[in-house]
Amino acid sequence: MQTEKKSALEALEKEVSLCRGCSLCQTRTQTVFGRGNAEASLLLIGEAPGESEDREGKPFVGAAGMLLDHYLAFIGLEEEDYYIANILKCRPPHHRDPKPEEEEACMPFLRSQVRILNPKIIICLGRIAAQRIISPDFRITRSHGEWFRRGGIRVMATFHPSALLRDPSKKEAALDDFKKIAEEFSALQNETANI
Ligand code: URA
């Protein structure tokens, strides 16, 4: 079914695909907008497309994405239950971090996505997303798994799945964060079921 949200997202995706707002447009294969269910109450926000995402045009389809899928499946969530997007819509070359001016240029697109999706829960995957969405001085090691509120939305940050691939000793802590996400998600389902 073509819902209002889906049409609005499609229009925004078209706009993003034409963006020449920063120099990443010169090196991208294509823009990477988002994937998942536009009607879902849970929005996951990563950093930026990597090589696989740049090639396939969808976020989190490489090794980090496979690990993320594994964590989401562990807490019983399927793609139907969430939408996923990134701070940047274009791949920064050579696995480097996004530059502040690239984030500035791209954030209006993410803000529009959030307005359209109207999520109840946002999960920031990694430091880059957490510092943009929660607080510029956010420290993942200190504050992962804590709930915050931003504009009426429940927001949490957890480790970026690439960080878990680099340092498996963080996996247990990440699993605890995902259990908290599952609790919040099912509390929300129960709330809406009782309306
Ligand atoms: N890392 C991200 O932050 N986003 C992706 O889409 C893939 C890897």
- The yes-or-no verdict on residue 191 having pLDDT over 90 is no
**Number of neighbours of residue 79 by Cβ within 10 angstroms:** 14
Please give the pLDDT value at position 48: 98
Q: What is the mean pLDDT of residues 21-41?
A: 97
Topology adopted by domain 14-193: Uracil-DNA Glycosylase, subunit E (3.40.470)
Q: What is the mean pLDDT of residues 67-94?
A: 97
What is the average pLDDT value for the chain, to the nearest integer?
96
- The yes-or-no verdict on residue 192 having pLDDT over 90 is no
Q: Could you tell which of 52, 53, 125 is best to mutate to test the pocket of ligand 1, judged by most ligand atoms within 8 Å of the CB?
A: 53
Q: Is the CB of 60 under 6 A from ligand 1?
A: yes
165 or 189, greater pLDDT: 165
Q: Is the CB of 184 under 6 A from ligand 1?
A: no
147 or 193, greater pLDDT: 147
Q: Which of 151, 139, 147 minimizes the C-alpha distance to 111?
A: 151
Where does residue 6 rank: exposed (0-12), middle (13-18), buried (19+ CB within 10 A)? middle
Q: Is the CB of 54 under 6 A from ligand 1?
A: no
Q: Is the CB of 53 under 6 A from ligand 1?
A: yes
> Confidence band (pLDDT; 50, 70, 90) for 104?
very high
CA distance 79 to 65: 12
CA distance 179 to 69: 14
> Confidence band (pLDDT; 50, 70, 90) for 1?
low
Q: What is the mean pLDDT of residues 90-96?
A: 95
Longest C-alpha distance within the chain, in Å? 50
Residues in the chain: 195
Ordered by start, the domain boundaries in the chain are 14-193
The share of the chain scoring above pLDDT 90, in percent, equals 94
Answer positive or negative: Cα dihedral of 20, 21, 26, 29: negative
CA distance 159 to 34: 20
Q: Is the CB of 98 under 6 A from ligand 1?
A: no
Q: What is the mean pLDDT of residues 142-159?
A: 97
